[in-house]
Amino acid sequence: MAEGDEATQEKKGGSKLVVILLVVLIVVILAVGAVVATLLLTGGDKEPAGDEVAQEQVEEVEAPKGPPITIPLGEPITVNLSKPNDANVLQVQLDMVTRDPKVQEHVKALRSRIINDVMLSLSEVDAAELRTREGKEALQQTLTEDINRILEDGTELEKPVENVYFTRLLMQ
């Protein structure tokens, strides 16, 4: 009789273990199903292809980081406007902002060419447009592109000047 009681207790203990394992298995299956459903519904985080990852790393290395460096262009530049209305003369003084210390050397070396191209761009300005904020911002963008084009010519620099700022803008 003692042997029969032990066999029943082993079956009960064994059946409890099977029930616990089944419950754990069901919970794991539900958790995996929830993760898969979430990824399918959200589309998952698509990682960029290997070339894109490499290019992002190269861009991070090439982009100089650091504090902004202000480079004054020098004396004010005065030009006659080609489309005068109530103003015939425009005078501006510019500062350029970069984060690459090498740019300052290039600006010194190419200062006359930069001033020449700035003068050519300024002479084409319409005084009426320049009176608006949008006109000033458009001129600022044009001058930034012109200066970057000059500084990039024959160098490895890409967009060396972040922005050009007017420190003086006078129309008469």
Q: What is the DSSP string of 28-59?
A: HHHHHHHHHHHHHHH---PPPPHHHHHHHHHH
Nearest to 140 by CA among 106, 80, 95: 95
Question: Which secondary structure element, helix H or strand E, spans residue 144, and what is its range?
Answer: helix 133-152
Per-residue pLDDT of the chain (172 residues; tens, 9 = 90+): 555 555 555 556 678 888 888 888 898 898 888 888 788 888 655 555 555 555 555 555 555 578 999 999 988 999 998 876 788 899 999 999 999 888 989 999 999 999 999 999 998 888 888 889 999 999 999 999 999 999 988 778 888 999 999 999 999 9
Return the pLDDT at 15. 80
Return the pLDDT at 64. 52
Which CATH architecture fits 69-171?
2-Layer Sandwich (3.30)
Return the pLDDT at 39. 80
Return the pLDDT at 157. 81
Question: Collapsing DSSP states into helix, strand and coil, what is residue 92?
Answer: strand
pTM of the shown model: 0.60
Q: Phi and psi (nearest 5°) for 6?
A: -65, -40
Return the pLDDT at 57. 55
Q: Could you state, in order of their start, the residue ranges of all structural domains in the chain?
A: 2-46, 69-171
